[in-house]
């Protein structure tokens, strides 16, 4: 491999009776190891981000609440997650993972965080199982270090990337593109640079047609130095929270289209995995693994 796969065992925490299975990332990584796509020495442990890093995208008050374990019942209800110290640490380390993946992408053309994608986290609060927006922190960190000027965030999770859209709302250097299912969480949508809403039951043909129509224009309008691809697999037809009904082959084609657009333009790409809630947890892990395989395969062409 010309690059490292980013992962930390701290990503994996137990969430009792919760639809989000934090162990899916480790399971997806195990599939890549089993198929010899990567070797143990290819896995890079991310450094823990500093308070200053977190505050690139989050308010001091929200950062304080997380670092000092002072979330209220209202905070947890809004985020729909019980924020134990282990859960908060998992979110913090996922931020570190996406920051490291961004660095690796700029060095090698591709950076993969086998986790991440907490696109519902706002600057001052968490939502939708997300406490910290790793995507936003990574982009701001690369901008601060003057490694990039402009970024494109392609969010193809079934749910709108509302937190990411809100954080970058007034930043013309960051183009946010979210293609998601209408009438699905979040109930109140934010305004991305471009939002494309699809009907429940869209399926492979219509989904891929819409993506093909919009991707080239998004690249042209954003002229990015870096792409962050939020590749949620809750678009899959077996997902419990999404209803777009793509087949596994359709999800794989979606991913290939995104990576092909990045690599043919020689634009470094960061991959984060985000949502996925298939009835069989093994299905979610396989879908995430397929996404990573597509990235690795296309980079080598």
Q: Is 119 assigned a catalytic role? A: no
Which residues contact residue 196 at a Cβ distance below 8 angstroms, ignoring those fewer than 6 apart?
177, 178, 179, 180, 210, 214
Q: Residue 55 and residue 62: Cα distance in Å, rounded?
A: 9
Phi, psi at 146, each rounded to 5°: 60, 30
The CA–CA distances, whole Å, from 92 to 14, 73, 113, 265, 276 equal 16, 20, 13, 32, 20
Q: Single out the catalytic residue among 58, 119, 120, 180.
A: 120
**Which pair of structure tokens corresponds to residue 210?**
């819409």
The CA–CA distances, whole Å, from 37 to 24, 42, 236 equal 18, 10, 23
Q: Residue 263 and residue 280: Cα distance in Å, rounded?
A: 33
Token pair 């986790």 is found at 115
Q: Residue 233 and residue 239: Cα distance in Å, rounded?
A: 8
Q: Residue 66 and residue 239: Cα distance in Å, rounded?
A: 30
- DSSP, collapsed to helix, strand or coil, labels residue 237 as coil
Please name the helix (run of DSSP H) or strand (run of DSSP E) that holds residue 181, with its range, or none.
Answer: strand 174-181
Token pair 């701001």 is found at 140
Residues involved in catalysis: 120
């Amino acid at each position: 491999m010309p690059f490292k796969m980013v992962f930390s065992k701290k990503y994996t925490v137990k969430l009792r009776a919760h639809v989000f299975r934090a162990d899916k990332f480790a399971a997806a990584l195990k599939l890549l190891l089993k198929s010899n796509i990567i070797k143990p020495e290819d896995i890079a442990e991310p450094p823990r981000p500093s308070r200053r890093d977190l505050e690139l995208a989050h308010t001091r008050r929200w950062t304080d609440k997380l670092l000092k374990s002072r979330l209220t019942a209202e905070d947890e209800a809004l985020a729909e997650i019980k924020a134990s110290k282990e859960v908060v640490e998992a979110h913090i380390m996922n931020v570190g993972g996406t920051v490291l993946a961004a660095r690796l992408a700029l060095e090698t053309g591709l950076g993969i965080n086998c986790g991440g994608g907490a696109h519902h986290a706002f600057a001052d609060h968490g939502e939708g199982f997300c406490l910290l927006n790793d995507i936003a922190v990574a982009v701001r960190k690369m901008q601060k270090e003057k490694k990039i000027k402009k970024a494109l965030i392609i969010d193809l999770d079934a749910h709108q990337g509302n937190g990411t859209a809100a954080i970058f709302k007034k930043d013309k250097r960051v183009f946010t593109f979210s293609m998601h299912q209408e009438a699905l969480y979040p109930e109140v949508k934010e305004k991305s640079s471009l939002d494309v809403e699809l009907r429940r039951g869209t399926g492979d043909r219509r989904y891929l047609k819409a993506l093909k129509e919009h991707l080239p224009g998004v690249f042209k309008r954003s002229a990015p130095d870096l792409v962050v691809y939020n590749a949620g697999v809750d678009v899959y037809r077996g997902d419990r929270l999404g209803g777009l009904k793509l087949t596994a082959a359709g999800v794989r084609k979606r991913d290939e289209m995104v990576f092909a657009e990045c690599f043919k333009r020689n634009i470094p790409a960061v991959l984060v995995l985000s949502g996925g809630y298939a009835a069989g947890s093994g299905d979610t892990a396989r879908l995430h693994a397929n996404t990573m395989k597509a990235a690795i395969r296309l980079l080598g062409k």
